[in-house]
Copies of this chain bind each other. A is one copy, B any other.
Amino acid sequence: MSEFGGVAMIIDELSGSPGRFAALGGRSQCAYPLPSRKAAGQIADELRSLLFPGYFGPEETNADYLRFHIGATVDSVSRNLEEQVQRALCFECTAPEEIAGCGRKAAELTRQFIQQLSQIQQFLLQDVKAAYDGDPACTSPDEAILAYPGIYALTYYRIAHALSILEVPLLPRIITEIAHSVTGIDIHPGAQIGDHFFIDHGTGVVIGETCIIGNRVRIYQGVTLGAKSFPRDANGVAIKGVPRHPIIEDDVIIYSGATILGRVKIGRQSVIGGNVWLTRSVPPGSRIAQGKAQFDAYDLGAGI
């Protein structure tokens, strides 16, 4: 076989591979393009400049012109979002003739979403306040906005959550995954989170799809609010959407590396210590800590 012969065969195999995806249940060959991660990122970025005017977006503008920039950005982001929402809706289409309907629905959902921006901003302002009040290293609310990964992740989460309530498929998950990539904080768009939420440092935080988190909750890096177990169907596929993540009540603090699994309830004003592994509910006001570290040398040989 000639040199190119081997390559030509690979091109053939890869060209034939959509069938392999279809066999898995994938729908890559639908009649309309899939949502684009790059476009989702630009949309989230534009929305962030609307939610934090003067902090992101055009750097050098002044108060006289702010309104013009906001209007221009609303125009642009509406068009971009509508296109991606339509793609996401079409992804669930089974017939080409539904595309036009997806277009109309996308326009309507986009309009509804845009009208929630001011309310989303209110939540984020409270999150900023919680970061500033709660972190001795934070020298101003502006620093929290400009440099705190927790605020970045919550901005993307609150956008994605609003889209998820409007039942836009796929796109919310893509948006929170962008924030996950940038911050290491993985919040499922389906989670419900109250006001004044503060995540410090944040790398490794996981907040599962069916979590319910109250107001004024504070969590640190590496905290998992996950599922412990879940039912599977006859084919061994996990059954989707069952409530399986913790409920965290108001004013709870959870320190770094703690893992809370299952549909348990952490009572209000509880404090969960670092690296704790917890799979049961605890009453309000609980103080939970890891067993004391040992003072010995076992498993730590001289060679290290």
Residues of B within 8 A of A61 (CB): 75
- Contact in complex: B230, A204 (CB < 8 Å): no
Distance from A73 Cβ to chain B, minimum over Cβ atoms (Å): 8
A152 vs B230: C-alpha distance when bound (angstroms)? 25
Given A111-B7, A201-B186, answer yes or no on A146-B37 (Cβ-Cβ < 8 Å). Answer: yes
Residues of B within 8 A of A24 (CB): 125, 128-129, 132, 141
For window 114-157 of chain A, which residues contact chain B by CB distance below 8 Å? 114-115, 117-118, 121-122, 125, 128-129, 132-143, 145-149
Distance from A77 Cβ to chain B, minimum over Cβ atoms (Å): 11
Given A14-B117, A24-B128, A141-B24, answer yes or no on A294-B291 (Cβ-Cβ < 8 Å). Answer: yes
Residues of B within 8 A of A300 (CB): 271, 273, 287, 289
Interface bits A237-275 vs B (CB < 8 Å: 1, else 0): 111111010000000010111010100000000010111
A255 vs B4: C-alpha distance when bound (angstroms)? 46
Task: Count residues of chain A with CB under 8 A from any CB of chain B.
Answer: 154
Residues of B within 8 A of A208 (CB): 137
Residues of B within 8 A of A173 (CB): 143, 146-147
A54 vs B17: C-alpha distance when bound (angstroms)? 10
- Contact in complex: A10, B180 (CB < 8 Å): no
Interface bits A26-61 vs B (CB < 8 Å: 1, else 0): 111100011111000000000000111111001111
Contact of A289 among B117, B125, B293 (CB under 8 A): B293
A261 vs B204: C-alpha distance when bound (angstroms)? 18
- Contact in complex: B180, A67 (CB < 8 Å): no
Contact of A147 among B149, B174, B275 (CB under 8 A): B174
Distance from A288 Cβ to chain B, minimum over Cβ atoms (Å): 5
- Contact in complex: B28, A142 (CB < 8 Å): yes
Does A95 interact with chain B (Cβ within 8 Å)? no
- Contact in complex: A18, B54 (CB < 8 Å): yes
Nearest 6 A/B pairs, CB to CB = A68-B71, A287-B297, A28-B54, A65-B75, A15-B67, A136-B238
